Amino acid sequence: MTTRPIIIDTDPGIDDAVALAIALYSEQLDVRLITTVAGNVSLEKVTKNALRLLEFFGKDVPVALGAARPLIKAPIDASDIHGSTGMDGFDFKEPTQDRVLKEHAVNAMYRVIMASEQPTTLVPIGPLTNIALLLTMYPDVKEKIDEIVLMGGSTTRGNMGVMSEFNIAADPEAAKIVFQSNLPVVMVGLDVGWKALVYPEDSEQLKGMNQTGGMIYQLFQKYRGGSMKTGLKMYDSCAIAYLLKPEMFQVVETFVDVELNGSMTAGCTVVDLRGYLKQPSNAKVCVDIDPDMFKQWFMESLGKCN
Ligand code: BDR
Ligand code: CA
């Protein structure tokens, strides 16, 4: 089976942890590098979380530290949702530093992408700071990028501001650079994340599934991404779902830009579904998902973990 080379840029984050589990155990994906970015919590904490997860899974994927703050905006975090460590709820072993590269994430991404025979897919599931820096510092890298499949944005309302989604609002300038990059961009946003839900009965099933399921079950007891009763939202897993089972999504190709200056709307994605702006499309936007197909895929995928 041919595997698809990917780099995951992440800020774990409870839903990031679940997405990483699925990607790392997938036989169709070859996770060549994990890069970290300040987002849900600080760079130091998210990197520690990525290392904890890799140690827990026993996976030898290199980790490179990226941006500790957004390009221009003051940092924000989401510790109210993910807990003060960013991954509250499970007692992980203290991770070794063996997997940590000495290079900055941007340099590590450039090296790994340029050395690959096959074009690489970037999967950012946190703020887009590292990706924007990569595209700006090393424009020649674009030729070797297959696609950017990002979790972020919304076609309607937000989860950070009235209209803005967390990953885009955390670094809107970076997001604008990514949408304007002329690369194939897939936006997997809130519209689908809101329907990618885990209910108490699913969580109970995970508990005894395998050691990963048991760990995730415990993280879910602390995750404030929705209440457990109304369903926990698996935002970041949707980006992995798009890579592995795109048929579960309804996708529209359209023009997307990021509002930088609106006094009430800064950080929101402007998704021109009706073509008002008369601009050529620059993204595939996931506007809907089949929730049952997602659920089945999600449980089956976690069933493949150790
Ligand atoms: C996004 O924000 C973060 O809190 C989640 O990890 C996800 O990437 C959802 O808006
Ligand atoms: Ca995330």
Asked if pLDDT for residue 51 goes beyond 90, the answer is: yes
The model's confidence at residue 227, banded by pLDDT at 50, 70 and 90, is confident
Residues with CB under 6 A from ligand 1: 13, 15-16, 40, 78, 81, 125-126, 151, 159, 165-167, 235-236
Contact of 6 with 121, CB cutoff 8 Å: yes
Average pLDDT, the chain: 97
Q: Which helix (H) or strand (E) holds 79?
A: helix 79-82
pLDDT of residue 2: 86
Q: What letters, b where the CB count within 10 A reaches 16 and e where it falls short, cover 54-64?
A: bbbbebebbbb
Asked if pLDDT for residue 192 goes beyond 90, the answer is: yes
pLDDT of residue 224: 85
Contact of 17 with 49, CB cutoff 8 Å: yes
Q: How far apart are the C-alpha atoms of 7 and 58, rounded to whole Å?
A: 18
Mean pLDDT of 140-168: 98
Pocket probe for ligand 1: among 37, 167, 240, the residue whose CB has the most ligand atoms within 8 Å is 167
Atom 10 in ligand 1: which residue has the minimum CA distance? 166
For tokens 């973990």, the residue is 305
How remote is the CA of residue 152 from the centroid of ligand 2, in Å? 9
φ, ψ (nearest 5 deg) of residue 30: -115, 95
pLDDT in tens, 230-243: 899 999 999 999 99
The model's confidence at residue 181, banded by pLDDT at 50, 70 and 90, is very high
How remote is the CA of residue 278 from the centroid of ligand 2, in Å? 32
* Contacts (Cβ under 8 Å, ≥6 apart) of 250: 286, 287, 288, 289
φ, ψ (nearest 5 deg) of residue 188: -110, 95
Asked if pLDDT for residue 228 goes beyond 90, the answer is: no
| pTM, 2 dp | 0.98
Domains annotated for the chain, with CATH where assigned, are 4-303 (3.90.245.10)
